[in-house]
Structure 1
Amino acid sequence: MAKLNRSLNTMELAAWATIFLALLLGAVLFPLITFHSRGRRAYNLPPGPKPWPIIGNLNLIGELPHRSIHELSKRYGPLMQLRLGSVPVVVGASAEMAKIFLKTKDEAFSDRPRFAISKHSAYNYSDILWSPYGPHHRQARRICAAELFSAKRLESFEHVRDEEVLVMLRHLHQASGRTVRLRDYLQTLPLGVISRVVLGRKYVVEEEGASPPAITPAEFMEVMDEVFVLLGAFNIGDFIPWLDWLDLQGYVRRMKKMSATFDSFLEHVLDVHNERRRLEGDRFVAKDMVDVLRPLADDTDLEVPLNRDSVKAITQDLIVGGTDTPANTIEWAVSELLKNPEILAKATEELNDVVGLDRLVTEGDLPRLPYLEAILKETMRVHSAVPMLAPHLSREDASVDGYEIPAGTTVFVNVWSIGRDPVLWDAPQEFMLERFLGSKVDVRGQDFELLPFGSGRRMCPGFKVALKVMARSLANLLHGFVWRLPDGVCKENGP
């Protein structure tokens, strides 16, 4: 054990020595970089904290970046300039600023920064989320709108959503009377829906009679968990590029490992689909989204040809984008209702009046459940699944609110701050769904005070699926069970 400890200490000393040498090199280079930049044009930048040499304002960013940046915005205003390492960053923290970045001047701010996660896990920026703005991105969104998320396509998969909600309810019914960890049930629901809709079969459970998958259900859940961790990781090499090779936090190593596992899985999925297409020949009918996407790789009339990696990248986006947001939102909604039993009682009363006591809630019932809709909107305001929208990048110099934003600036829209803006919301810290009863504020990207799915050219293309899964699932959870906190837990202990 002593030998092991000495070995670990030696490794730690070596790592710290490497970091020290890298910082020393930066300290030597910084004056040269500063001298070189003196001849550049001076911009009228938004207000913000003074950056330190090398690290910029990284010292002000805590474990929850959206909260740290929110506190800074309260001091410097809804349009704020930061320097994270060597990367210039602008933050929009109001509905007005969000509208400028995402609608008024959407084209100027429609690009994406090239972060490590997009390089290593998005097939070198060839997916929808991280691809640079241009012909490939526009074409991918057109494919989503016309082929993957059209009204007809969504309707054709309603039976899948029906069946997966029923599976979740049966599993919960088996646990009736016991304390349950709701997230365990919620995670498998959207993942089951999206894997059947996109891939043609469930990969979260062993399916009787199905061919053995390239990845077990447990491995599939594990890699999905890793994807969400790495998507939210604050990788230091993205902001101090000359430290990237050190991979100080180990994120790049994990990204490469996760990507290799996911790629092996997607290769298996494409091979299975290609084989079915070959065997069925002229009888082939598309049954899932991969069936729709795969032939497009052979379409010579496309503006930008799609290759196998492009198909895998878009498929991966569909899986990841359709999984985490519904589970998080439903979990937060139930948590808030348990803390507010009077709201829970009213929601149950609405469901009993509209649906009755002898059947499950269907998607046809949802338009007649305004109280349930208000619960979901208030949940997404207070607990946005993505507190800061995926970063944008300015493609050209632009003027915003009298300030200048240089080309190449990374732009964050802090949805978490907007949801707590006292100018927009009375008592913003309180869970008050009444604010949405009779309100026309929606989540479809046109009302900038509520942007759980973003807006404009970079809005989440699959938000309609997410809304259907969330509303249907929450309605049946409330309609089918009586919920209460575990013994010994009071609502003051809630989130």
Structure 2
Amino acid sequence: MDLFTTIILLSLFIIVLIMKWQYFKHTDKNSPPSPPKLPILGNLHQIGLFPHRSLKSLAEKHGPLMLLHFGNVPVLVVSSADMAEEVMKTHDLVFSNRPPRKMSEILLYDSKDIATSPYGEYWRQIRSLAVLHLLSNKRVQSYGLIREEEAARMVETIKEFASSSFSMPLNLSEIFFGVTNDILCRSALGRRYRGGGEGCKFQELVLEFGDLLGTTSIGDYIPWLSWLNKVDGSYKRASRVAKRLDEFLDQVIAEHVSSGKRKEQEGLTDNVDDFVDVLLSVKNSNAVGFEFDTTTMKAILVDMFTAGTDPTYTVLEWAMAELLKRPAIMHKLQDEVRTVVGNRSNITEQDLVHMNYLKAVMKETLRLHPSLPVLVPRESTKGIKLNGYDIEAGTQVLVNAWAVATDPKCWDQPLEFKPERFLNSSVDFKGRDFQFIPFGAGRRGCPGLQFATALDETVLANLVYHFDWDLPAGSKELDLSKFYGLVLHLKSPLLAIPTPYYE
């Protein structure tokens, strides 16, 4: 046997030994139940196109705390309200870290944003900044007029379509993305970015950004296979999108700096500052206890659009899809909204306070169709005992919010769309009721839930107040098949026929 053959055989023998040790080693630890896994891949092959459904099916066999392996990475899957409370309340501090992801590094300024930044002093500072200065109750309410104005513009757009395209279907998905983007742009950047030129480019960037952020990078779990993401071009595409978005934000910030100087010279003031104005004010006044630079500002702004666009307009898609499937629920909602508003032509946010059924419809939509059915991954910072099981430091944690929200132990007829279940119930989505966590909970809960729900309620109330809705001719049943990207969308655009409502 020559030397070369000997080296090859010895190398193969060593690889087999390493794999055997890595994947079949025995320990004294009491780990959670696990399904069988493959060498190298672990359980990655069992996830499928719809992870929330695959993980729920596995959990039904192995329990509400289940240990998977994505490559070499241990992943704890949480599928019950009790276990979600343990992770996001009882042991919230231990599970408050975020695992590193290559796409987040590329797209989110090396994970300097709020959503994906590692747990620590930097994250605490920027989250506090966002909560106090951008997403406080007072600040969200100050954008109420913007929401009302953009909802009114949306209504006029639909009326014009209805008058010029009799009995033709309207692309509601496109309408929802447009109004959500307009409200976010005016609130965050000071004006709309719609139509041709830079507006069109910005909308394209937002959509492409969301698609890329939802991409799974095999290199995150099997580092030596990271070259596959280079071969398929996803890293290069992400770098290109990140560069274009960075240049766009630089331009927006420069315009605000110039405009701010002009207003100061002329003694002008605006009634409502947008997010860029607020962040520039914080930066210039050194009002925070850490070095707040332009990169951090841009990371926070990107977060606002990432969390605010796709997840927010998707809720509207699902709400209208369910209402179109169930005319009785649609009519009940329309009766409430039209009774509260009366003969007035516009809906104010004060009206929403009195629309209990509208809020029940929104809650039921979030329960059955959470935008992020599997919440953003967490990571344990140290070893811990959880429900009698040993969880090692560095274990990723996936909370299956959809599995929890459709658990028959918590919900009657969990797969049925029944807004009435919330009418005489105190259960809410603010992170205290762990059977209903579409926005997460604890330290890593979404700080923008009030902004998102105010937007969705305003838009939906206007849609059902000003119009009656029908499915296109020949559509006996609405297709609710889904496409999983960053968030859970309808597979096809939502089409419906609007008829203006007149007393």
Q: TM-score, normalised by structure 1?
A: 0.89
Does 2:51 align with 1:65? yes
1:87 aligned residue (55, 73, 80): 73
Partner of 1:218: 200
Does 2:132 align with 1:146? yes
Unaligned runs of 5+ in 1: 1-24, 207-214
**Distance verdict in 2 for CA 1:27–1:313, change over 3 Å:** farther
Does 2:288 align with 1:306? no
**Residue-by-residue CA offset, 1:354-382 (whole Å, 9 max, x unaligned):** 11143222210112111111111111111
Query: CA contact under 8 A between 2:64 and 2:78: conserved in structure 1?
Result: yes
Query: CA contact under 8 A between 2:321 and 2:478: conserved in structure 1?
Result: no
DSSP 3-state at the match of 1:110: coil
Q: CA deviation at 1:300?
A: 4.7
Distance in 2 between the 1:71 and 1:484 partners?
35
Distance in 1 between the 2:339 and 2:361 partners?
17
Query: CA contact under 8 A between 2:129 and 2:288: conserved in structure 1?
Result: no
Partner of 1:44: 30
DSSP 3-state at the match of 1:472: helix
Distance in 2 between the 1:134 and 1:193 partners?
32
Partner of 2:169: 179
Partner of 1:456: 442
**Distance verdict in 2 for CA 1:238–1:305, change over 3 Å:** same
Distance in 2 between the 1:253 and 1:434 partners?
48
1:274 aligned residue (257, 263, 283): 257
- Residue type matched to 2:94 in 1? A
Partner of 2:394: 408
Does 2:379 align with 1:397? no
Q: CA deviation at 1:27?
A: 9.5
Distance in 2 between the 1:386 and 1:45 partners?
27
Unaligned runs of 5+ in 2: 1-10, 482-503
2:181 aligned residue (174, 186, 191): 191
Query: CA contact under 8 A between 1:338 and 1:491: conserved in structure 2?
Result: no
**Residue-by-residue CA offset, 1:408-451 (whole Å, 9 max, x unaligned):** 01101001111211111111111111111111111111111111
Alignment RMSD, CA only?
Answer: 2.1
Query: CA contact under 8 A between 1:30 and 1:54: conserved in structure 2?
Result: no
Partner of 1:202: 192
Partner of 1:227: 209
Does 2:229 align with 1:243? no
Query: CA contact under 8 A between 1:128 and 1:317: conserved in structure 2?
Result: yes
Distance in 1 between the 2:16 and 2:404 partners?
36
2:103 aligned residue (94, 106, 117): 117
Query: CA contact under 8 A between 2:107 and 2:213: conserved in structure 1?
Result: no
Query: CA contact under 8 A between 1:299 and 1:305: conserved in structure 2?
Result: no
- Residue type matched to 2:62 in 1? Y
- Residue type matched to 1:223 in 2? L
**Distance verdict in 2 for CA 1:52–1:149, change over 3 Å:** same
DSSP 3-state at the match of 2:347: coil
1:471 aligned residue (452, 457, 464): 457
Partner of 1:211: none
Query: CA contact under 8 A between 2:375 and 2:399: conserved in structure 1?
Result: yes
Query: CA contact under 8 A between 1:395 and 1:408: conserved in structure 2?
Result: yes
Q: TM-score, normalised by structure 2?
A: 0.88
Q: CA deviation at 1:301?
A: 6.0
Distance in 1 between the 2:26 and 2:285 partners?
46
Partner of 1:337: 323
Shifted more, 250-259 versus 408-417: the winner is 250-259
**Distance verdict in 2 for CA 1:250–1:70, change over 3 Å:** farther
Distance in 2 between the 1:305 and 1:448 partners?
36
Shifted more, 348-357 versus 365-374: the winner is 348-357
